[in-house]
Amino acid sequence: MLGYSFMGKAHSNAYARMPVFFYPPPARPRLVAIAGRTEGKVKEAAVRFGFQRYYTDWNKLVADPEVEVVDNGLPNDMHLGPCVEAAERGKHILCEKPLGRNPGESQAMLRAAEKAGVKHMVAFNYRFVPAVRLAKQFIDEGYIGKVLQFRAAYLQDWAMDPDVPRTWRFRKESAGSGALGDLGAHIIDLSRFLVGEIGATVGIAKTFTGARPLPGDPTKKGEVDVDDAFVALVKFTGGAVGSLEASRFCAGRRNFQRIEIHGTEGSIGFNLERLNELEVYSNREQSDRRGFKTILVTEADHPFVGKWWPRGHIIGWEHAMVHEVYHFFDVIARDGRVAPWGATFYDGLRADEVIEAVQKSISSQRWEAPGLAS
């Protein structure tokens, strides 16, 4: 495990939970080593999460012969180096999103993983929310007919406080982009997962707070050179149209991810803050019975849910990561495929190409086509 903070903790929890609920597990994760920069903290994380040892240098973890799977939960500028090195050492890789700071980095990671023949997956965890999976089943079965429109908004508010320090998330050099690559990457991936490829996009973006206190010295400020919010229109190659937006400046919206999909025969709605529910509407219902219904996605035959609790006993945000880790270990153990349920490094590259196209369109003020990844 690379990184011990937010994602380090979330993924470590997933490895610990997976064999308890997905029993017998496809392979039992053995938590060999965790790496981070600060010795005291990484040592504590190793004890807390149950890793056998720790390193303060990621190179040593990736070189450890007992490590077979590398999970990269480091900031975005630390995805390329460790992922390529891990691939070259023949290790399977689960990497956090966005895969690269730009498509060039993602392409290099994809090539390295394909050359080495290792399994590769991007941690687009929202694909593994049962209600999102159920939405995909409805769409694939034609329940809402041909998809006409997709709209997604991923809204947070944590950056509104001007005293939030200029961490790696506020610098192009370390993050690649702001809300666009951070939150936007998730809904771009979900748009591809649920609807299909994006053929063209045009967007706008805004940075509301242009300078923030430096983490090491809060008396000084450093420039913020990434977006705080973006809005983009998209055209799907299959004919649907849509909008994507993300922001760190929506007061009161803590982790609000709303998706609406409208087809010729009905509609689907999903709200991450009520992740056990899926809203569906069908034109096929008798006219006096039409209306949105809310499915509580906790039945044993709903995706993944039978592994957890009796019906009605809801699950939470971290469960999607358990599903994600289960899928990856299952793929490794069976020599199966990460796609189409999981996001491969190819999917990570495609998401980065859409991000780049949005950025280009912001400068050009024209529609831009995401690069055609081969």
Ligand X SMILES: NC(=O)c1ccc[n+]([C@@H]2O[C@H](COP(=O)([O-])OP(=O)(O)OC[C@H]3O[C@@H](n4cnc5c(N)ncnc54)[C@H](O)[C@@H]3O)[C@@H](O)[C@H]2O)c1
Q: How many residues bind ligand X, per CB under 6 A?
A: 20
Residue 259 near ligand X by CB under 6 A:
no
The piece of 22-30, 35-43, 266-274, 285-293 that touches ligand X (CB under 6 A) is 35-43
* Residues between 301 and 320 that touch ligand X (CB under 6 A): none
Indicate the residue whose CB is closest to ligand X: 5
Among 33, 35, 278, 297, which residue sits at the site for ligand X (rule: CB under 6 A)? 35
- Positions in 51-70 near ligand X (CB under 6 A): 58
Closest to ligand X by CB, 83 vs 147, is 83
Nearer to ligand X, 312 or 316 (CB): 316
Residue placing its CB nearer to ligand X in the complex, 52 or 255: 255
Nearer to ligand X, 11 or 151 (CB): 11
What's the min distance (Å) between Cβ of 285 and ligand X? Answer: 35
Q: Which is nearer to ligand X, 45 or 147 (CB)?
A: 45
Answer for which of 19, 29, 75, 178 binds ligand X (CB under 6 A) is: 75
7 binds ligand X (CB under 6 A): yes
Residue 298 CB, shortest distance to ligand X, in Å, is: 22
Burial of 221 (0-12, 13-18, 19+ CB in 10 A): middle
Residues 121-150 binding ligand X (CB under 6 A) are: 123, 125
Instruction: Name which of 176 and 263 has its Cβ closer to ligand X.
Output: 176
Residue ranges in 170-189 that form contacts with ligand X under rule CB under 6 A:
182
Minimum distance from residue 78 beta carbon to ligand X (Å): 5
- Residue whose C-alpha is closest to residue 31's, from 10, 46, 41, 9: 46
For ligand X, the closer of residues 175 and 261 by Cβ is 175
Mask: binding to ligand X, 83-102, rule CB under 6 A, as x and -? -------------xx-----
Could you list the residues that contact ligand X (CB under 6 A)?
Answer: 3-8, 35-37, 58, 73-76, 78, 96-97, 123, 125, 182
